[in-house]
Every structure is written in C-alpha cells, then in structure tokens.
Amino acid sequence: MSTVQIPAALVKELRDKTGAGMMDCKRALSECDGDIEAATTLLRKQGLSAAAKRSGREANEGTIASYIHQGGRLGVIVEVNCETDFVARTDRFQQFAKDVALNVAAMKPQYVSVDDVPEDLKQREREVYAEQAMDRPENAREKIVEGKLAKYLSEICLLEQPFFRDATEKNQRTMEELRAEASSELGENITIRRFTAYQLGD
C-alpha cells in the first residue's frame, strides 16, 4: 500500500470518472500511487466482484419516499434501503428513491422482483401458456411457454420493468439497471424493499 497522500480533488475526479464509491476511489488511488489512469483500470477490473460483494451486505438504512399523482387520486409509498445513513441523505440516493416511487405510479407493478412472485402464480401462468401453445410443434412449446412467462413477469415485477423516464431513449434501462447504477455510484448495496400503491376508491 502506497504512503502517497491522495488529494481530495483527485478522489473526486476519479469518482466522477468511474462512478465508484469515494472510499473505493481513495483506496485505488493509494494502491496506484496517485495514478488516475491506473486507478481507473483497477476499479474497472474489480467492478464485477465489488458489485457482487455489495449485493450481500446488509442494507438497513434508507428512506421512505412517496409520490402523489392525478390530483390526489393515486399515491405511492416505497421503502428503499442502503447501508449507511450518510448515503441515505445524499441527493443521488434520494433521487433514486423518488424515481422508484414514480415508476410504481406509472407502471403499476405487483411485486418488487421475480423472486417475490408466488410459485403457484408462475405455475398457473405456465399452464395457460402451455394450453395456448398446444398447436405449436412439441419441441418448441417449452421455449414458447418460458418466453411468455418471462414477458409476463417483466410486466408485473418492478425491477424487470423499464424506467418510464427512458421511454424516448434508444437504450431504455430496466429498474434493476437503474438500481445497479445507483449502487455503483454510491458504493453501497441498494435495495428496494417494498412498495404500496393507493388508488382512490379502490
């Protein structure tokens, strides 16, 4: 480990360039004797393993965000978690939480992730699609069924849905990709724990 003093401005420059967490940037610069290009390469090499490590860390801090739409006729509350209170207070984290609430209001998901969908629901859908595919060649049926199931899950699961603000973009991100970007930029495991949507009269 280098003993070279790393200026805060250099850490900020690397963070802006790579989107990595502040401590990750400082550590990379220390290991690379302040060489920003070498530190950038190091962070890129470590990116995948770092993301995997983050996903297993406890995320018990965070925020409750809300969104009210249609003149008070639709309301959404979401819980978004991170690892530290410091990150929870950042504008970047707060913006992500607001984007989650907006997406729930716009796309009306039923579950956060595919893992949250009950197995009996998945099985019922498979049976429906299998019945619909009976007139197709037998060796193609399973692929058709799984393809239709994947499409259905992408419509009802928040993390699989497209980010509605990207609707006019050529490369539309999913909410999972948006979550991963925020996690990478903030250097912490970020999770969407739950949400509730209220429709007036329902």
On the question of pLDDT at 48 being above 50, the answer is: no
Instruction: Count Cβ atoms below 10 Å from residue 175 Cβ, excluding itself.
Output: 25
Whether the CB-CB separation of 69 and 105 falls below 8 Å is answered with yes
On whether both 50 and 148 belong to a single domain, the answer is no
On whether both 103 and 162 belong to a single domain, the answer is yes
On the question of pLDDT at 3 being above 70, the answer is: no
Whether the CB-CB separation of 137 and 182 falls below 8 Å is answered with no
Whether the CB-CB separation of 66 and 165 falls below 8 Å is answered with no
Angstrom distance (rounded) from CA 67 to CA 57:
28
On whether both 163 and 195 belong to a single domain, the answer is yes
* Residue range 55-101, pLDDT digits in tens: 556 677 999 999 998 788 999 999 999 999 999 999 999 999 999 99
* Domain presence at residue 143: yes
On the question of pLDDT at 23 being above 80, the answer is: no
Mean per-residue pLDDT, 1-9:
69
Beta-carbon-side half-sphere exposure of residue 29 (alpha carbons within 13 Å): 23
What's the whole-model pTM score? 0.68
42: domain CATH number is: 1.10.8.10
On whether both 44 and 68 belong to a single domain, the answer is no
More reliable by pLDDT, 148 or 44: 148
Whether the CB-CB separation of 46 and 17 falls below 8 Å is answered with no
Predicted pLDDT of residue 88 = 93
Angstrom distance (rounded) from CA 159 to CA 112:
6
Q: What is the enclosing helix (H) or strand (E) of 15?
A: helix 8-18
Min mean pLDDT across 31-45, 144-158, 178-192 is at: 31-45
Angstrom distance (rounded) from CA 94 to CA 110:
23
Backbone phi, psi, residue 66, to 5°: -140, 160
The alpha carbon dihedral of 23, 26, 27, 28 has a sign of: positive
Predicted pLDDT of residue 49 = 44
123: domain CATH number is: 1.10.286
Angstrom distance (rounded) from CA 95 to CA 181:
12
- Helical pair 119-132 and 138-156, crossing angle rounded to 10 deg: 130
Predicted pLDDT of residue 97 = 96
Q: What is the dihedral of CA 191, 74, 160, 195, to 10 degrees?
A: 30
**Residue 127 belongs to what domain range?**
118-156
* Domain presence at residue 2: no
Whether the CB-CB separation of 22 and 11 falls below 8 Å is answered with yes
Beta-carbon-side half-sphere exposure of residue 72 (alpha carbons within 13 Å): 0
* Residue range 116-172, pLDDT digits in tens: 999 999 999 999 998 888 888 888 888 888 889 999 999 999 999 999 888 777 778
